[in-house]
Amino acid sequence: MDQTSSAVPGAHQPLVRHDILFTVLALAILFLTIVPVGMAVFWLGFARGDSPCVMCWEQRIGMILISLVGLFVLRFGPKPKYIGMAVLIAAWGIFMGMRHTGMHAARDVGQGFSTEILGAHTYSWALFIYWVCVVVMGALLLMVRGEHLQTDPRTLRGIERLAGGAFLVVVGANIVQAFASTGPPPFMGQSDPVRFSFSPRHWTWSLEEWNPVRISLRGRWAVHKPDLVTVVSDPAVGPLVNLPPLTVKERKPLKLTLDGSPTDLAYDLATDQFLLTTAKGVYLTDGTLARVNRYTIIDPGFSVDVGRIAGTAFLDAGAVIAVGENKSYVILRPNDQASADSNFRFFLESRDRFDEISRSRFATVRARLLYIMSAAYDPASNAVYTVTVPNNRVKRLIVSRFDRRDLTLSEEYSPPLSPESGLTLGPNRALDELTVTGAAVADGQLFTLSAAYGTLLTIDLGLRQVVAAHAIPGLTRPTGIAIKGGELYIVDAAGMLTVVARPPAPYLLSRYRRTWGTASFGSK
Residues of this chain that bind other proteins (CB under 8 A): 8-12, 54-55, 57-58, 61-62, 64-65, 68-69, 71-72, 75-76, 81, 85, 88-89, 92, 95-96, 98-99, 101-103, 105-106, 153, 156, 161, 164, 167-168, 171-172, 174-175, 178-179, 182-189, 191, 209-210, 213-221
| Residue number with CB closer to other proteins (182 or 510) | 182
| Residue number with CB closer to other proteins (20 or 213) | 213
Nearest CA among 485, 500, 499 for reference residue 254: 499
Least distance in angstroms from the C-beta of 91 to other proteins = 11
CA distance 517 to 510: 10
CA distance 450 to 480: 9
Q: Which ranges of 105-208 does DSSP label H, i.e. alpha helix?
A: 122-142, 158-181
- Burial level of 499, CB count in 10 A (0-12/13-18/19+)? middle
| Residue number with CB closer to other proteins (107 or 249) | 107
| Residue number with CB closer to other proteins (9 or 427) | 9
| Residue number with CB closer to other proteins (35 or 105) | 105
CA distance 356 to 346: 7
Least distance in angstroms from the C-beta of 446 to other proteins = 28
Q: What are phi and psi of 77, to 5 degrees?
A: 85, 165
Least distance in angstroms from the C-beta of 361 to other proteins = 11
Residue 481 in contact with residue 439, Cβ under 8 Å? Answer: yes
CA distance 25 to 10: 23
Least distance in angstroms from the C-beta of 222 to other proteins = 8
* Largest distance between two CA atoms of the chain: 102
| Residue number with CB closer to other proteins (69 or 338) | 69
Indicate the residue type of 226.
P
Nearest CA among 353, 362, 406, 421 for reference residue 386: 362
Least distance in angstroms from the C-beta of 363 to other proteins = 12
**405 CB contacts (<8 Å, ≥6 apart)?**
382
Least distance in angstroms from the C-beta of 339 to other proteins = 34
Indicate the residue type of 347.
F
Least distance in angstroms from the C-beta of 279 to other proteins = 21
| Residue number with CB closer to other proteins (209 or 432) | 209
